[in-house]
Amino acid sequence: MDVQSLSIGKGYQGVMKRWNFSGLPATHGVSLTHRHGGSIGNREFPGKVFKGRKIAGRMGHKNATIMNQRVVKIDVDRSLLYIKGNVPGAISTLGK
């Protein structure tokens, strides 16, 4: 059985946490930009940032699916489904 729910929202995150970028060196002339993503575009042409560019932004709070979870028990009286395995999202999103 597949389980779907909203993943845990993490708010606005930088490129290191959101996309697993390694960051810049901590020494050798790098000043206050250790966790930055670097350049995000070109010069006058094309004069924009292309869609899908991996930059900082909101992370999480999207639909997530965990495939092939095992149903252990079904409680018809209380409308409960017991699943062995992971369920995406925060505790408060369960049962919604």
- CATH number of the domain enclosing 89: 4.10.960
Residue-wise pLDDT tens digits, 43-68? 999 999 999 999 999 999 999 999 99
How many independent structural domains does the chain possess? 1
Domain, as residue range, for 84: 3-93
Q: How far is CA 3 from CA 8, 14, 60, 84, 96, in A?
A: 15, 29, 17, 11, 12
Quickly state the pLDDT bin for 29 (edges 50, 70, 90).
confident
The answer, yes or no, to whether residue 94 has pLDDT greater than 80, is: no
Q: What is the pLDDT of residues 63-87, one digit of tens each?
A: 999 999 999 999 999 999 999 998 8
